[in-house]
Structure 1
């Protein structure tokens, strides 16, 4: 039988607290001021340096606004670097709304395919319950972005600008979740009542047409072709004329993205082994999301080499941990919670993953590193939260100790992998359950 808190314990708790002068001071402070203000360590803020031995960015940050599209923004922020060089422009953005449209459509289809695939299971099966809990969130993964670009291409922002619903997705997502859960119920009813898979698929296809309609109403109809012309930073005018989204990718994306692999640091699991997460996908039938698990220091070495070779690095992390948003700082000990509460905090990274204290929540782009005697001491990060009250004009500084504790993933070319890493790619991926935290970036909206 469970044991409740006793009156005796409460009396002891009260006496201990009221006799502790430091606890009373902390109570007075916290009841009148913000926790982060009280615990932010002055010594770390004072000693933070915003210069870097390698700094790649010479552009402004983007803004995902009230959406969880960080993974798409980080991807297109990487891709735009080469596009800006090729077009000789200072600023450029691919349309994030365009690829977001296709993600919503493809993800709706993938969800309904998953409902068909699991139709022989009871509806309270844990996997089905997980699928129904968030049938079409905003999040995603590097491989999922590649699936979309491979199939649907890209367009410039001018060809498919932001809409209210792309910049603020909650209302649209609420409608989409409603129709998807409704359709899931209808598909299972058809099959439970003795209907054929063909009948269930026919109903799914009909509903997909309605989902297309909803997406077009919210986001606009994606163009099949568009006219492209621009003026470069030397005031020279250029005209390419009519292009398709796939032609635009071929012309302006110089990243060899088909050669990229996702490297993660997940200390719960064996290193130099690949992993995937059940039902982690957006394009049905497309290549799966696959991670190669490596030690943190090796992921760090790959990141450093890429930056020093002039290539920004797509990454995923637990963004909200020990972050000073307005100052644009991360440090593993940025806030002194122990000093305020007089209580010990903290678990090792593996246990934080096991017990739900951490997961990937946000994707961004490394654009710089400060290296002393061959070792990194801080990293420069391009965020996608705009430049107002977010970092230093939208860029953040990450102390190296934060990388080890709260960084989880990068995307990197195979050429940068060690022999041991490359050998690890050969085996079959271990399938983690759908609810594993290694899939969290694709379902949880980032802090923004």
Structure 2
């Protein structure tokens, strides 16, 4: 049946029969759906007081960039650095890791273009590779590969530039050139070029990327000197150290010890298995992105254990859902759409993944949790990287029910995960297609 006048008349009569619709109509027209639907009781459910807390540094700001996954990872790492330096706060250079991420992602794309030269240009795979090849987003294992290869430096050793804090123009240029390089490689293959010749084109193309990154982000420090004062106001100078040695000495993480747990309760991903995503990565020779899919309570148990030990927890979620950004509240009942619209979104977590309604969009850090008398979470303390003008000076509060519905991933030390789940890593990884929702990258700004 088509939309006809009879149907429209019935819609109008039904709408006008409910007096509340007119008041809601005026409110939404004035302030929008979200503000008209906000549940003021959300503030009562979030006191921003937590029974368990870890150390943390000052709030950071990713500005107009999608580097949340880097900020979250470095904000997690800096807690160990602060302990080793006996410093009140510390901040790593996110510009330094951005430089290497852009260069490595460019190489990763062009390597994949070479690997897929036999694929039709209009194949779903090739079009996927070309769709958004140099976006700011990433995953934990992608960043782990950068730390393993390049280490990290204090912010003073490679400060922010215009384009590290505002990446859109840089990404637009890089995307255009990478697509051009991809076209050149595929055309050369069609003309009979050897793989060795294609690799030479790739290396020549990468120089343009390097050239642009140096001009936009600055030169990479091969060694640097770092000066600071500790909590007792004593002066210290760390002289002529490499980024790799700084990370090894002042973070000292065993990156192989860190494991990513996900909660994807869909029929195609049984719990207790380890997964990877085809064609997803940054450092070509690095460890593949690897997740163990587990029930949501396993994520919570591991996160609580880490927090109790004083260890912040990197996590990835769909931050835009039921978020009051100004108040810094993530609550499953932030908005009462039933009252204003007559219905809320009724999909389950699995259905939201299956039908494209939700995926991982943003990475942050758990730095606390409020537990009830039985040790069960009530709310979670979240360190965000959107500056200090929202939430409690940059700290957000997440309800435990929001965790259930919209949190997808945490990364913790293996010691916080039971062996029954870790044994999945001893089995071959199940490969997911590149467009699987678990291949989504954290990049919200």
Give the TM-score taking structure 2 as reference length: 0.97
1:396 is matched with which residue?
396
In the TM superposition, what is the alpha-carbon distance from 1:29 to its structure 2 partner?
Answer: 1.0
2:151 is matched with which residue?
153
Contact conserved, 1:338 with 1:345, CA < 8 A, in 2?
no
Matches within 5 A, 1:23-102: 23-102=21-100
2:306 is matched with which residue?
306
2:293 is matched with which residue?
293
Return the match for 1:244 from 221, 238, 242: 242
Q: Structure 1: 5+ residue runs without aligned partners?
A: none
| Aligned equivalents of 1:414, 1:164: Cα separation in 2 | 38
Partner SS, residue 228 of structure 2: strand
1:410 is matched with which residue?
410
In the TM superposition, what is the alpha-carbon distance from 1:58 to its structure 2 partner?
Answer: 4.8
Corresponding position: 1:206 with 2:204 = yes
Partner SS, residue 32 of structure 1: helix
Contact conserved, 2:56 with 2:79, CA < 8 A, in 1?
no
Matches within 5 A, 1:348-387: 348-372=348-372, 373-387=374-388
Give a deviation string over 1:363-397, Cα, whole Å, max 9, x none.
00000011111111111000000101x21110001
Return the match for 1:144 from 142, 150, 158: 142
| Aligned equivalents of 2:344, 2:103: Cα separation in 1 | 47
Give a deviation string over 1:3-50, Cα, whole Å, max 9, x none.
542332222222222332122221111011132222111222223221
Give a deviation string over 1:309-358, Cα, whole Å, max 9, x none.
11110000000111111111111121101110112522110010010110
Partner SS, residue 425 of structure 1: helix
Number of matched pairs: 442
| Aligned equivalents of 1:317, 1:333: Cα separation in 2 | 17
Partner SS, residue 204 of structure 2: helix
In the TM superposition, what is the alpha-carbon distance from 1:245 to its structure 2 partner?
Answer: 0.6
| Aligned equivalents of 2:196, 2:215: Cα separation in 1 | 29
Contact conserved, 1:292 with 1:424, CA < 8 A, in 2?
yes
Q: Structure 2: 5+ residue runs without aligned partners?
A: none
| Aligned equivalents of 1:438, 1:155: Cα separation in 2 | 30
Give a deviation string over 1:169-215, Cα, whole Å, max 9, x none.
00000000000000011100000122222222111111101110011
Partner SS, residue 44 of structure 2: helix
Partner SS, residue 434 of structure 1: coil
| Aligned equivalents of 1:195, 1:238: Cα separation in 2 | 56
Contact conserved, 2:95 with 2:164, CA < 8 A, in 1?
yes
Contact conserved, 1:88 with 1:233, CA < 8 A, in 2?
yes
Partner SS, residue 315 of structure 2: strand
Contact conserved, 2:259 with 2:412, CA < 8 A, in 1?
yes
Partner SS, residue 343 of structure 1: coil
Give a deviation string over 1:53-99, Cα, whole Å, max 9, x none.
11123532111010000010001001100111111111211101001
Give the TM-score taking structure 1 as reference length: 0.96
RMSD over aligned Cα atoms: 1.2
| Aligned equivalents of 1:286, 1:129: Cα separation in 2 | 24
**Larger mean Cα displacement after TM superposition, 143-152 or 225-234:** 225-234
Contact conserved, 2:57 with 2:78, CA < 8 A, in 1?
no
2:280 is matched with which residue?
280
Matches within 5 A, 1:125-204: 125-204=123-202
